[in-house]
Amino acid sequence: MQIFDYQPPSVPWLDLRYQDRDLIIINKPSGLLSNPGRAAHTFDCALTRLQRLYPDTILVHRLDCATSGIMVFARNKKAESQLKTQFQDRQNEKVYIAEVMGGIAKDAGIIDLAIAPDPEHPPYQKTQTPGTAGAKSALTHYRVLERRENSTLVELTPQTGRTHQLRVHMLALGHPILGDEFYGDDEVIKARPRLCLHAQSLRFTHPYSGKAMHFYSKHPFSA
């Protein structure tokens, strides 16, 4: 979604799934920014909507504007630091569901391709040879859930958190995510009214109690 086309959904205004004194969980809709952009008209986002209800809300991680699904926010600096450490040290588990173009031949696999910014076309990313300036290692596990007539429903478990990682990795595999206005051609973009990528499951440790937390939001990509 290009920023000049930004028209965030208003229904539901917020899909709150959980909140306590340390954290808040929401199910973010596709089309809503995680945090404000530079332009004034991008002020409306998941973070600012939450801050109207809970002024102490702090951003911990991001989902792309077009990606829907589970997000966690902190409510104090200690929780923010602890949660960000979990994300940086890969102590949590994020599971995404995507519908991609064509039929994936293998039932499961690993995509191990470094990713770097495309200097000629920011903010696009691209796969790159390890060791190239700006390239960062990126690892994604995939598992086929359902093969459809012209597409495949796939579970994606990223082991790293690079910008646009899942979109770039599926493109490199030859199966771009349907509805992807950034990396898809006209056929891919027109195949669906939105990016078919959803953060379905998130597991982490509660920053105060140490309790294992698991939040789930079923994907909307029914056949």
Residue 34: what pLDDT?
98
Residue 129: what pLDDT?
86
Residue 4: what pLDDT?
57
The three-class DSSP label of residue 185 is coil
Assigned CATH for 15-215: 3.30.2350.10
> Which whole number is the average pLDDT over 202-214?
97
Domain definitions of the chain by residue range:
15-215
Give the model confidence (pLDDT) of 76-132 as tens digits. Answer: 999 999 999 999 999 999 999 999 999 999 999 999 999 999 989 989 999 998 878
Q: Given pLDDT bands bounded at 50, 70 and 90, which one contains residue 37?
A: confident
List the one residue out of 14, 180, 94 whose CA is nearest residue 172: 180
Tell the residue number behind the tokens 């690892």, with chain if given: 139
Q: Could you tell me the two tokens for 11?
A: 């229904």
> In the predicted model, is pLDDT for residue 198 greater than 80?
yes
Tell the residue number behind the tokens 């994907």, with chain if given: 219
64 is catalytic: yes
> In the predicted model, is pLDDT for residue 1 greater than 60?
no
Q: Give the mean pLDDT of the chain.
A: 95
> In the predicted model, is pLDDT for residue 148 greater than 80?
yes
> Which whole number is the average pLDDT over 186-192?
98
The three-class DSSP label of residue 49 is helix
C-alpha distances out from residue 121 to 116, 124, 143, Å:
12, 6, 31
State if pTM tops 0.85. yes
Q: Which of 5, 22, 44, 64 is catalytic?
A: 64
Cβ partners under 8 Å of residue 162, min gap 6: 115, 125, 136, 138, 168
Residue 2: what pLDDT?
44
